[in-house]
Amino acid sequence: MRIGELSARTGVPVATIKYYVREGLLAGGERTGYNQVAYSEEHVRRIRLVRALVEVGALPIAKVREILDKAGDPERDTDSALGVVARAMDRTREVAEPEPDDLEEARAIAERHGWKIPPSEPRMKALADVIGTLRLLGLEALIERADDYARAAQIVAETDIELLASRADREEMLESMIVGTVLGDALFAALRRLAHTEVSGRRFTARREVPDEKSCN
Amino acid sequence: MRIGELSARTGVPVATIKYYVREGLLAGGERTGYNQVAYSEEHVRRIRLVRALVEVGALPIAKVREILDKAGDPERDTDSALGVVARAMDRTREVAEPEPDDLEEARAIAERHGWKIPPSEPRMKALADVIGTLRLLGLEALIERADDYARAAQIVAETDIELLASRADREEMLESMIVGTVLGDALFAALRRLAHTEVSGRRFTARREVPDEKSCN
């Protein structure tokens, strides 16, 4: 297809497609004649992947290129590529060295859930960083209830890894992990907000239907 | 305290603090003498709140101002303020009109979980939007497993609303909701990644310890 059709298929302006090619996020099309370049379904797929990372994942272009470069490196075996790409996706925000108390809290949560995580695991620091921010903002109550979050996270992670393992080949696994990481967060966030509507609606209605409830507390 | 101490306490540069004041995100300090302005604990708290929204929540400054303005509007009662602020926090990304199939899928998920959500609820469209993106990217497998995500989201939402309801006054409730919405997503994302490490580690070790497993499948 021509670049105009590629643009129509993906909803991405021609100028942006050209920018992606210049930035190395997208291979150029195949030159088929004077001033004629053909693009394939592979390009459609790749542009959609880039858009998901940029729009839904809010990742900067340089980070998207790093992730796609690592995923496309033919020197690595699948397990190693999955690990390297996962690490690249983790480092989207600089995490300062966490406070010892926050790290301790993070480790305690993992331990209570039977998670065997190496102490040096950077993801433990990322969790400690969130805990530190919650503490700074006076939301200790949420830290105390982090076990509910961890229980929910485990349900989701079991599903994620099961889906990943069911993928047929390396390329499918990598793309599934990249998309699943970013869109899984978005899917959960959307469902969490919908569940807020449900749960707070239930509470609010209960409060209105039982006007004496307040005096009972 | 002087602006230098405020900067040291919050880790935010003086120039950024002045920018927040100019942008209306932060009240100016109290003028206590010629060229002397005093800031309070209230300023420390507010700056930390702004940082959480900007850094962890990745919200643009204009959106942060909108949220804080709505939260601070004394004309609204608590329930109405909570609703208005929640809506403002939802609209961080433009959601196109979803495909009917995707909206149908979103409704079906809510229905299976017994969530009574009005059909016009914008959060349903936000969920349909994520479903549409998953479909575009060939991750139908995750849509099929969205019930696991919904189950996890309900666990978290029950905790969230319980914490919110336990807050003493209007200001605490609003701040708790603002911080909890943004940091709750971050907390879940950090725990989800840690759980990925645990679950994939378990699978990987099992695969190595039972070398015949592959041939059993």
Mean predicted confidence (pLDDT) in B98-119: 94
Q: Compute the nearest-CA separation of A184 from chain B (Å).
A: 8
Chain A interface includes B108 (CB < 8 A): no
Q: Quick check: B203 pLDDT over 90?
A: no
- Cα separation, B199 vs A150, in Å, equals 13
Question: Which of B142, B164, B181 shows the shortest C-beta gap to A187?
Answer: B142
For chains A and B, CB pairs below 8 A equal: 249
The CATH number of the domain covering residues in A1-56: 1.10.1660.10
Q: Do B176 and A201 touch (CB under 8 A)?
A: no
Between the alpha carbon of residue A1 and those of residues A15, A40, B102, B203, the distances in Å are: 16, 6, 28, 42
Closest by CA position to A196, among listed B76, B184, B129: B184
- Confidence grade of residue A56 (pLDDT, cut at 50, 70, 90): confident
pLDDT at position B123: 92
Distance of alpha carbon A160 from alpha carbon B158, whole angstroms:
23
Kindly identify which residue of chain A lies nearest to residue B134, measuring between CA atoms. A183
Mean of all residue pLDDT scores within chain A: 88
Residue-wise pLDDT for A6-30, tens only, equals 999 999 999 999 999 999 999 999 9
Residue A216 has pLDDT above 60, yes or no: no
Q: Which residue of A has its CA nearest to B194?
A: A123
- Chain-chain contact of A139 with B180 (C-beta, under 8 angstroms): yes
* CB-CB under 8 Å, B129 with A187: no
Q: Could you report the per-residue pLDDT of A179-213, keeping only the tens digit for each?
A: 999 999 999 999 999 999 999 888 866 555 544 44
Does A52 lie at the interface with B, CB-CB under 8 angstroms?
yes
Q: What is the pLDDT, as a whole number, of residue A92?
A: 67
Q: What is the sign, positive or negative, of the torsion defined by CA atoms of B195, B198, B203, B204?
A: positive
Q: What does the pLDDT average to over B141-163? A: 96
Residue spans of the domains in chain A: they are 1-56, 97-166
- Residue A172's contacts (CB-CB under 8 Å, 6 or more residues apart) are none
Using CA atoms, how far apart are residues A100 and A83, in angstroms rounded to an integer?
27
Q: What ipTM does this complex have?
A: 0.88
B84 Cβ under 8 Å from any chain A Cβ:
no
Q: Is the pLDDT of residue A83 over 90?
A: no
